[in-house]
Amino acid sequence: MKHEIVRRPRLAVACAIVLGFVLGVTGAWFGSRPGATASAGAPPRETPRLELVVGGLSSPVDVVAAPGDRRSLYVAEQTGRVRVVRNGIVRREPFLDLSRRVRANGEQGLLGLAFHPGYAENGRLYVHYSDRRGDTRVVELRSDGERALPGSERELLRVEQPYENHNGGGLAFGPDGLLYLGLGDGGSAFDPEGRAQNARSLLGKLLRVDVERARPRWEPVALGLRNPWRFAFAESGDLYVADVGQDAWEEINVLPAGERGLVNFGWDLYEGPLRVEEGEPAAGRLAGPVAAYPHGDECSVTGGRVYRGGLVPSLRGRYLYGDYCSGRIWSLRWTGGAEAEVREEPISLPTLTAFGEGPDRELYLAAQSGALYKLTYVP
């Protein structure tokens, strides 16, 4: 199949919280609107709904559970604080306050939070944020169980950011025990300096590091990313990466468990089903998205999680994701083929910024408006 090379004006597109985009090819291209590829078989037995947990948060961007803590959710706010939610109440004192060090402007701010798998024993956690210069910082801290300890920082990464947008955000430990980080292409529009395809740059990459090393060395796992706004591991070890589009397409990519070698998701040569730049991939195996949808009322994908809870059995094993602008939410099931089976779910949440799994394995969703919801069902 031939693909038209599309030239569009290189105008910087402002996206409310995160931008970024990806694209790839593995043989044939596809890119139908999610929901158009409806799943076959009987409809779900339960009707999912969103139940308000708390409001009044300040631009929440990440929702995380800490190993060994069965009572709490930890919510990262873009302004630089991590808040603790217990029994439907936001604790008055923040767990962590980096607001004086963080530049929270547009897409910059506190962007990612991850707890060490051995947190219950070692108290270690990791944050990704934009410093006062706007550059990327990833640091390790220690906690006494109630709050992060001042002065316990160990810097793992500092990356200069050429523009104010496309900072990426996600942090998560993989089943291999390594810490993964998603970074955008450095910003502006259409990756003007070609960083996503530059193997010497850390920008536009999915990276991982062994935090146990005295001098951590970050290793690229994938390149060709525009701005991944959330990635998540499934129990199978498959890694789902949502990448926000330039001005036409949003997409979901999968890095299969056991993948060896570098994977190239294609930006800035491709966006969705469109070839937007001439040239050849810089390195790695070129991989296309497993799902993609065009812009309309939609503008910016928010990556989610594979559902492992018990409240909505019909969603178990499905990856949920949504759109920041329209609030539409979809789920997909990927079984290793080129394209996933996608369906739209009967729930929505405008300004959707994050999905997180609680200590109860249930799914929680955050909106930039400051509300935190729990996925449940209509009895």
pLDDT at 3 over 50: no
* Span 11-36, pLDDT tens digits: 333 333 333 333 233 332 333 344 33
pLDDT at 289 over 60: yes
Q: How many CB atoms within 10 Å of residue 248? A: 17
* Rounded average pLDDT over 275-289: 93
At 2, which amino acid appears? Answer: K
Q: Is the peptide bond before 297 cis (omega within 30 degrees of 0)?
A: no
What was the pLDDT predicted at 274? 86
What was the pLDDT predicted at 45? 65
What was the pLDDT predicted at 21? 30
Q: How far is CA 153 from CA 138, 149, 156, 297, 339, in A?
A: 10, 8, 9, 42, 42
What was the pLDDT predicted at 257? 96
Architecture of domain 48-377: 6 Propeller (2.120)
* Span 353-366, pLDDT tens digits: 999 999 999 999 99
pLDDT at 129 over 80: yes
* Span 80-94, pLDDT tens digits: 999 999 999 999 999
What was the pLDDT predicted at 188? 96
Percent of the chain with pLDDT over 90: 84
230 close to 305: Cβ distance less than 8 angstroms? no
What was the pLDDT predicted at 272? 80
Nearest to 62 by CA among 168, 133, 151: 168
Better pLDDT: 16 or 107: 107
pLDDT at 219 over 80: yes
What was the pLDDT predicted at 36? 38
Taking the CA atoms of residue 247, residue 252, residue 256 and residue 261 in that order, the dihedral angle to the nearest 10 degrees is 10
How confident is residue 146, by pLDDT bands cut at 50, 70 and 90?
very high
pLDDT at 38 over 60: no
pLDDT at 60 over 60: yes
356 close to 65: Cβ distance less than 8 angstroms? yes
In the chain, domain spans: 48-377
| SS3 (DSSP) at 320 | strand
* Span 329-348, pLDDT tens digits: 999 999 998 899 999 999 99
Mean of pLDDT over the chain: 89
Structure tokens at 372: 């935190």
What was the pLDDT predicted at 27? 30
How confident is residue 228, by pLDDT bands cut at 50, 70 and 90?
very high
* Span 155-206, pLDDT tens digits: 999 999 999 999 998 999 999 999 999 999 999 999 999 999 999 999 999 9
Better pLDDT: 112 or 379: 112
Distance in angstroms (rounded) separating the CA atoms of residues 163 and 54:
34
What was the pLDDT predicted at 89? 97
Q: How many CB atoms within 10 Å of residue 61? A: 27
